[in-house]
Amino acid sequence: MTLPLPRAVVFDLDGTLVDTAPDLTSALNWVLESEGREPLPEMDVRHMVGRGGRHLLMRGLAVSGVTASEAELDLLLPRFLAYYGDHVAERSTLFPGVEAALLALAGHGVRLAVCTNKPIGLTEPLLAAMGIDRHFQAILGGDSFTFRKPDPRHLLETLNRLEVAAAEAIMVGDSDSDVKAARGAGVPVIGVSFGYTETPIHELGVDKIIDHYDELLPALAGLRQVDIRS
């Protein structure tokens, strides 16, 4: 029996497809230590990821006791991005089951995209290093437009690149930015339990939660079945 899958699935990147926290932590700590601050443990940094490098820097500095001005962030951000770009895939790994799930979706003819707040100049090399860039028909970063998640236009423009309507798509993410973008775009959203959100995923109002990518196709089919019946 054919699964009632959506025409398109759009994925967040950090904390959803790839566990990037180790390399992001290294880059953040490199900046902090260069500023004479103590490094932060990776478990703390995991909850700061998801809204782009500037937000991560601001949060990291705040935890270390520094309230950075916008001008200071302007100076530190290029250094952070340059270091991170040189080490973007040293310790980052795919979450278990990601590639098998992408292959299965492609086998069913589902169109795939990435919609992330990570700059596109870091997103594309990371996906290539992980060996999964070939699976996506559209890859949009935080600087691909003048807006980004949680602005729903980021997701809607990603769907436009796929030539798929919001009613025929599902978002997969790990944070409130993903949920807010999906809700604003009128797209159902599946949350992953292993991501980087500060607020527990079950409190974000997602439609379904998966603990492993083995559960993705049944979750997608379940949501589509509800859409078909409604």
Domains of the chain: 8-20+93-229 (3.40.50.1000), 21-86 (1.10.150.240)
Nearest 5 degrees, angle CA 213-CA 55-CA 147? 80
pLDDT band per the 50, 70, 90 thresholds, residue 64 = confident
The CA distance from 225 to 208, in Å, is 13
Instruction: Specify the length of the chain in residues.
Output: 230
Q: What is the structure's pLDDT at 68?
A: 86
Identified catalytic residue from 12, 19, 23, 174: 12
Average pLDDT of span 76-103 = 96
133 is catalytic: no
Q: What is the structure's pLDDT at 2?
A: 66
Whether this model's pTM surpasses 0.85: yes
Average pLDDT of span 15-34 = 95
| Angle separating helix axes 70-86 and 120-130, nearest 10 degrees | 20
Tell how far CA 125 is from the center of its chain. Answer: 15
